[in-house]
Every structure is written in structure tokens, then in C-alpha cells.
């Protein structure tokens, strides 16, 4: 049974997954059971699988493997248009399918910037033609990502934009952010923001502290994140807008989010799997693949972040997939670009939090699939009957070592080179059709 290439489906037969560990956070379901897929939707998923299994179905014995909703990655940078040499929709789709990501949410940081209705339509058409993975664009919050003038929220939303963000950029003008949250409230739009004061970031390249001093590198203080986040929360309270902090990275930011939620504000936050599983010491001998934004913090912050995921303060876990090539990464640490690829390592890296007992499987898949889908108003991210049949089969204990050269992304800038993982995707379905399947020994 060869690997199924992305975009080449097996057939439209119903599929029955037997002897599975069924995980559906939308129903707080974690149980041995059966999942039945037909007509591109979930027919049943649970302990007994319901009745009336299709007679012509493909039956798969999962042998205890997990069947869970396909992942929804809320922060993916793709090179199209303008930087196809780093990543295309086709290569990102292949990487996503292999990593169990069935829905990509792309950032507007392209050339040209996604701040026009025609460009939102271009993304939708290009993605549809090039990949079988679902792709939804976020549109620019401000024109040209310059932080000076808002884009047309209503028109961009009608064209298919699922949220509004300036991607890697931070909107420093508080009046613009207030106006965006107000308009977002009126149109039901979600405002997603990268909280990093560029003036405090300055020429910093890693977390400010003892490790940066020892390495002789300029540091980025936590306050660069905290101050912008605190401002944004106050503006969300003032306007009643829908706000999502794209990525938080330190314990103090979690305290701000907890307080906002306790006040009943419509506020959520995400975290990169990198900040949940790595820390500043991993930079080691100036390894540029560990230069990230936000930067890797102390291990105390990493532990606080993991605890924040466990208690529900962190709503969403993202890959922060940001392809960079040798021209931007093979430099001295202080001169290298931020960013790492992550579509194929999002789930196996996140499973480290399961293996060390930090979070439950339900909590993890809620943050990887169910919650991001809910926050963006998508009907995926669940296995409830009638939902789209976007699902993955995962062996959570399968050991493997990452060889960067095997990554399907065009760029290979991963911080997990040669990392040992436990857990691997065996099969990925989008709309009930197989878009990725591992070798014959994975599932009979």
C-alpha cells in the first residue's frame, strides 16, 4: 500500500475505523470506539459507532490508535504570492497532511500584502487548485501592514477572510487598534494581534536575561510583549471587541489573559508549540533555527506556559510555521531571520506534553483542533455526527527521529532537527478522503 500523494484520493467509499481511541473535545469524548465516515461527513463516532454501518465500507483496524479531529493551525506563513522559493501552497499542503493538519490559516505577510478583496480571492483559488488541505486566509488588519489605516473588514470578510491581523507586525497606534476592535465588534470580526513592541524589541534577538548576556547577544525583554498585551486587553474592554493574542510566551502574559477572562471579556490567546516545548538554553552554540518570534524564554516560563495550556488559559496551540531559506538563516545568530517550519512537527512536539503528564489528550486536541475552529467560526475540529470528515489517525507512542531532509516543506529550518519524538500521524482525511497515509505497516 504506497503512500497516497496529496491531492490524489483513493475513492469515495465509506470508511469505518474500528478498535480506535476516539477523541472528540467538542463532546468531551475520549473512549475506545468506532468512527464511521460517509458522504464526506462523520456518521458516527463513539463507543459503539451507532448502527447501520455501510456494507461497502473500507474497514480499518486501528489497533488502539487515536482517531481525532484534523488539526487547525491558526498561524501559517506561506510564500505565495511573492516568496514561492520558501514555500508554496502545494508544499505546505503536503507538509500539513503529513503532520495531521487539515486546515491552514494563512497570514497576510506576502508580496503583495493580502489587504484587498481580489487577493483574498486569489488565495482561495490558488489553494483550491494546489492542495487538498482546507486553506483560509487572514486578511491584513491595516493597509500594507503599516499600522496606519484599517482595511475594509466587511468586504474582506465577505470575500473569505476568517480574521484580521498584521501578521508579524504590531499595531502601535492605540487609536487604530481601538477602531479595529470597534469595527470588528460591529462586523463580528476577530482581531488577531502579534504583541511585541518594536521599540522595546529593538535589535534584540533572544530572551533578555543571563543566557543572552553569556552568549553576548542583545535581549528582548518580556515587557515588549506584556505592555502591548495589557494595552490591547484594555482596548478590548473599552470596545467590547473580539480579540485574540496570536502568541504569548511568558508567565506574566498568562496572568493578564486570566484576568481578562475572569472579567468576561471576549479574549483568547494562542501559543507556539516551540514556546511550550523549548527554552532559551536550546539555542546552545548560536543555532539560528532557534531564533524565533516570540523568542524562546526561560524554562520557568515554558513550564508556566504548559500549565497555562493545562488550565485552559491558553486556548490555541499553533505551529507558527515560518519558512526561511539558507539566505536568511545561514548567518551569525544576530543577523539571521526569525522563524521555523512547523507543520510536520506541531503534533509530535505537542505530544511531549502528553508523555510528561502536563496535559490530557482531550486538552491538547481541544487546543490543536476544536478551539481554533470555534474561534474562527469553522465547522471543522470535531467528530460529532454531521461534521465534515476531517480527521487523523495517530499512533501516540510510535518512536521516530526527525531528519530535516525528509520534511515536505520547501524550507528545512526546523528547531527539531534530529529530535526524538514519540507519536506519529498514520493517516489524514479531508472531507472523508485520504490525503496522506504512511507505509503499509502503519495501518493494514
The domain limits of the chain are 15-68+389-437, 71-376
> In the predicted model, what is the mean pLDDT of residues 387-401?
97
What is the band of 56 on the pLDDT scale with cuts at 50, 70, 90?
A: confident
Of the chain, the percentage scoring pLDDT greater than 70 comes to: 95
> In the predicted model, what is the mean pLDDT of residues 41-67?
88
How do beta strands 316-318 and 267-272 pair?
parallel
Whether pLDDT at 131 is above 90: yes
> In the predicted model, what is the mean pLDDT of residues 213-241?
98
Whether pLDDT at 3 is above 50: no
User: Minimal CA–CA distance to 271: which of 306, 242, 298?
Assistant: 306
pLDDT at res. 290: 97
Mean pLDDT of the chain: 94
Of the chain, the percentage scoring pLDDT greater than 90 comes to: 92
Whether pLDDT at 102 is above 70: yes
> In the predicted model, what is the mean pLDDT of residues 252-272?
98
> In the predicted model, what is the mean pLDDT of residues 133-148?
97
pLDDT at res. 326: 86
pLDDT at res. 11: 65
How is domain 15-68+389-437 classified at the CATH fold level?
Answer: Urease, subunit C; domain 1 (2.30.40)
Please, which residues have CB within 8 angstroms of residue 303's CB and are 6 or more apart in sequence?
Answer: none
71-376 under CATH 3.20.20.140, yes or no:
yes
What is the band of 55 on the pLDDT scale with cuts at 50, 70, 90?
A: confident
Per-state percent for the chain, helix, strand, coil, to nearest 5: 35, 25, 40
What nine digits make up the cell of 15?
470508511
> In the predicted model, what is the mean pLDDT of residues 273-288?
97
pLDDT at res. 440: 44
Whether pLDDT at 10 is above 70: no
Phi/psi of residue 402, nearest 5 degrees: -80, 120
pLDDT top residue among 10 and 434: 434
Whether pLDDT at 54 is above 90: no
Amino acid at each position: 500500500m504506497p503512500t497516497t500523494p496529496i491531492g490524489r484520493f483513493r475513492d469515495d467509499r465509506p470508511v469505518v475505523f474500528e478498535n480506535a481511541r476516539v477523541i472528540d473535545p467538542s463532546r468531551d469524548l475520549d473512549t475506545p470506539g468506532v468512527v464511521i465516515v460517509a458522504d464526506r461527513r462523520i456518521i458516527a463516532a463513539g463507543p459503539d459507532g451507532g448502527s447501520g454501518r455501510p456494507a461497502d465500507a473500507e474497514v480499518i483496524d486501528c489497533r488502539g490508535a487515536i482517531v481525532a479531529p484534523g488539526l487547525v493551525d491558526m498561524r501559517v506563513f506561506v510564500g505565495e504570492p511573492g516568496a514561492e522559493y520558501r514555500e508554496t501552497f502545494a508544499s505546505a499542503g503536503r507538509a500539513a497532511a503529513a503532520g495531521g493538519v487539515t486546515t491552514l490559516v494563512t497570514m497576510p505577510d506576502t508580496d503583495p500584502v493580502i489587504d484587498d478583496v481580489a487577493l483574498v480571492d486569489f488565495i482561495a483559488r490558488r489553494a483550491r487548485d494546489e492542495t487538498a488541505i482546507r486553506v483560509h486566509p487572514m486578511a491584513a488588519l491595516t493597509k500594507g501592514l503599516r499600522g496606519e489605516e484599517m482595511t475594509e473588514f466587511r468586504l474582506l470578510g465577505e470575500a473569505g477572510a476568517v480574521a484580521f491581523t498584521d501578521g508579524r507586525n504590531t499595531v502601535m497606534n492605540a487609536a487604530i487598534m481601538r477602531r479595529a476592535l470597534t469595527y470588528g465588534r460591529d462586523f463580528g470580526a476577530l482581531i488577531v494581534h502579534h504583541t511585541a513592541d518594536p521599540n522595546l524589541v529593538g535589535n534584540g534577538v533572544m530572551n533578555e536575561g543571563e543566557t543572552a548576556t553569556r552568549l553576548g547577544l542583545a535581549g528582548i525583554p518580556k515587557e515588549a510583549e506584556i505592555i502591548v498585551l495589557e494595552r490591547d486587553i484594555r482596548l478590548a474592554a473599552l470596545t467590547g471587541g473580539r480579540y485574540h493574542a496570536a502568541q504569548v510566551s511568558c508567565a506574566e502574559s498568562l496572568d493578564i489573559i486570566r484576568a481578562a477572562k475572569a472579567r468576561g471579556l471576549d479574549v483568547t490567546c494562542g501559543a507556539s508549540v516551540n514556546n511550550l516545548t523549548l527554552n532559551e538554553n536550546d539555542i546552545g552554540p548560536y543555532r539560528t533555527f532557534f531564533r524565533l518570534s516570540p523568542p524562546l524564554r526561560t524554562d520557568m516560563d515554558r513550564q508556566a506556559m504548559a500549565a497555562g495550556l493545562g488550565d485552559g488559559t491558553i486556548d490555541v496551540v499553533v505551529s507558527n510555521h515560518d519558512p526561511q531559506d539558507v539566505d536568511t538563516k545561514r548567518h551569525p545568530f544576530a543577523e539571521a531571520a526569525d522563524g521555523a517550519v512547523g507543520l510536520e512537527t506541531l503534533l509530535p512536539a505537542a505530544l511531549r506534553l502528553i508523555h510528561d503528564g502536563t496535559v490530557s489528550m482531550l486538552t491538547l486536541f481541544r487546543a490543536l483542533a476544536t478551539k481554533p475552529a470555534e474561534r474562527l467560526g469553522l465547522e471543522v475540529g470535531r467528530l460529532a455526527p454531521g461534521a465534515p470528515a476531517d480527521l487523523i489517525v495517530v499512533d501516540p507512542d510510535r518512536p521516530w527521529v526527525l531528519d530535516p531532509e525528509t520534511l515536505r516543506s520547501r524550507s528545512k529550518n526546523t528547531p527539531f532537527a534530529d529530535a526524538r519524538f514519540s507519536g506519529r500521524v498514520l493517516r489524514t482525511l479531508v472531507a472523508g478522503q485520504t490525503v496522506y497515509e504512511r507505509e503499509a505497516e502503519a495501518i493494514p
